[in-house]
Amino acid sequence: MSVLIIIITAFFFPGIIGRTRSVLSGRKGPGLLQPWKNVWVLLNKSAVISSSGSLISHIAPSVILASVLASSVFIPVPGFTPLLSFRGDFLLFAYLLAIGRFFIIINAFDAGSSFQGMGAAREALFGLLIEPAFFLLISSVSILTGGISFNEFYRSLAMSQSLPLIALSSTFIIICIALIENSRVPIDDPKTHLELTMIHEVMVLDVSGPDLAFIHIANYLKFAIWGTFISFFAIPAGIDLWLKIAIFAAIQFSFAIIIGFIESFKARFRMERNSHFIITVSAVAMVIFIIILFS
C-alpha cells in the first residue's frame, strides 16, 4: 500500500512543480498530468542507442528505475506499514539509490560523447558529497528514536512528536537533498538547453524512448520518497487514518510548491559553488547530529 501511495504521489509531483513555475511567471501552464503524458509518448516510441553503446546502454535505464522502485519498498507512508522492513534497511535504501546513480553514470560514459562524461563527473562528485548529509540525518534520527529501520523511525517520531527545531532542520536538509538528488535549481536547471551547464540532463542526452521514460519516472519517484520522509516529522500517531492521508497529501503538495517557488525566484549557483553548498548541507546535518548526540 505504501508503495502504491508513493507511486500515486509521484504521479502529481512534476506537474505541480511545473504548474507552480508557470503560475508564478504569469502563465497558464500545462496540465498537472502533462509530464506523464510526455512519459506516455516516450513509452510508445522505440529507443535509439548510441553506436558506441554496449550492453550497459540497454540495461541501465531499467536498472535505474528498478533501483528506485526497490528502494521505495522500505518507506512507510504514515498510517501504513512498508512492504519490507528489517533492521538497518536504510543502509540498503541508500545503496539501492547509489546503484541507480552508478548506472546512470556509467550509462553516460557508455554513449561515448564528450558532453556526457562531463555530466557524469559532476553527478559523481555531487552524489559523493551529499551522502554524509543523508547518513548523518539518519543517524541523528536513529539516536533520537532508538530505532534502526525506517518503520521504527516513523513510529517513534510519530509518537514523540519530535522537537520542532529538529523537525524543521531535518525538513530543510531533506529538501536540499531532494534538490541535489533530482538536479533542480539552484544546483542544476532541468529546463536549460545549454549542455555545458547541465548535470543530470546531459547524462541522458543519448537516452531515448522508453529508456528515457524510465529515467523520468525514477526521478519523479525519488521526489515522492523524499516528500514521504518529511511527513515522518509532522504526522502524529494517534489520529484518524484519513486525517493522516490528508496531512500527508498536504505535505507532499507543499513540498512540490516549495520547489516550484525556489525554481522561480532563485538563480543557479556557479558550478564550483555547488560543492560548497552541498558541504554546507552536510554541515547542518552534522550540527543536528551533535546536538542530538549530547542532549
Partner 1 sequence: MENALINTNPGAIALNEIPVVDYNEFYDRCRSLLQHEQNHCLNYFGWPDGKKIRYFCLIADDKQHSIYVLSHVQPAGKTIQLKALSAEITAMQVFEREIHEKYGVDFTGHPWLKPLRYAFNRYDRSKTPTTYPFYSIASEELHQVGVGPVHAGIIEPGHFRFICNGENILHLEIQLGYQHRGIENLFVQHKALLQQAVLAEQIAGDTTIGHSVAYAGIAETLTHFAEPAPLGIIRSIALEMERIAIHIGDTAALCTDIAYQLGQISLEPLRTTVINTMLEWCGNRFGKGFIRPAGSHYYPDKKFLTLLRSNLNDISERFTEITARIYSLPGVLARFEECGMVSNEQVRQIGAVGMAARMSGLARDIRISHPSMAYKDTIISSVTFDSGDVLARGLLRKAEVIESINYIFRLIDQYNSLTDNKNLPEPDFNLSFRQNMLAIGLAEGWRGEICHTAITDDNGNIIHYKIKDPSLHNWMALALAVRKEEISNFPVNNKSFNLSYCGFDL
Q: How many residues does the chain have?
A: 295
Half-sphere exposure of 266 (CA within 13 A, CB side): 16
Residue of the chain from 50, 192, 208, 254 that contacts partner 1 (CB under 8 A): 192
Please report how close the Cβ of residue 51 comes to partner 1 at its closest, in angstroms.
Answer: 17
Contact string 92-131 vs partner 1 (x = CB under 8 A): ----------------------xx-xx--xx---------
* Residue 147 DSSP code: -
Please report how close the Cβ of residue 52 comes to partner 1 at its closest, in angstroms.
Answer: 15
Segment interacting with partner 1, rule: CB under 8 A, options 131-139, 157-165, 268-276, 282-290: 268-276
CB count, 10 Å around CB of 61?
26
Query: Which of positions 138-167 make contact with partner 1 (CB under 8 A)?
Result: none
The counts of H helices and E strands in the chain are 11, 0
Residue of the chain from 7, 23, 24, 163 that contacts partner 1 (CB under 8 A): 24
Q: Are 218 and 13 in contact (CB under 8 A)?
A: no
The sign of the torsion formed by the CA atoms of 254, 270, 214, 23 equals positive
Residue of the chain from 264, 277, 284, 292 that contacts partner 1 (CB under 8 A): 264
Residue of the chain from 92, 112, 148, 195 that contacts partner 1 (CB under 8 A): 195
Segment interacting with partner 1, rule: CB under 8 A, options 98-106, 160-168, 183-191, 206-214: 183-191
Residue of the chain from 28, 51, 55, 193 that contacts partner 1 (CB under 8 A): 193
Cα angle for residues 159, 250, 28 (degrees, 5° grid): 165
Distance CA 239, CA 237 (A): 6
Cell of 123: 553527478
Please report how close the Cβ of residue 24 comes to partner 1 at its closest, in angstroms.
Answer: 8
Distance CA 156, CA 114 (A): 49
189 binds partner 1 (CB under 8 A): yes
**6 vs 108 by CB, closer to partner 1:** 108
Quickly tell me which residue has 542526452 as its cell: 205
CB count, 10 Å around CB of 159?
12
**87 vs 273 by CB, closer to partner 1:** 273
Segment interacting with partner 1, rule: CB under 8 A, options 83-91, 145-153, 154-162, 264-272: 264-272
Q: Are 137 and 170 in contact (CB under 8 A)?
A: yes
Please report how close the Cβ of residue 8 comes to partner 1 at its closest, in angstroms.
Answer: 28
| 266 burial level (CB within 10 Å; 0-12, 13-18, 19+) | exposed
7 binds partner 1 (CB under 8 A): no
End-to-end CA separation in angstroms for the chain: 36
Segment interacting with partner 1, rule: CB under 8 A, options 46-54, 128-136, 257-265, 281-289: 257-265
Distance CA 204, CA 97 (A): 17
269 binds partner 1 (CB under 8 A): yes
Query: Which of positions 36-95 make contact with partner 1 (CB under 8 A)?
Result: none
Please report how close the Cβ of residue 178 comes to partner 1 at its closest, in angstroms.
Answer: 17
Residues near partner 1 (CB under 8 A): 21, 24-27, 114-115, 117-118, 121-122, 185-186, 189, 191-197, 263-273
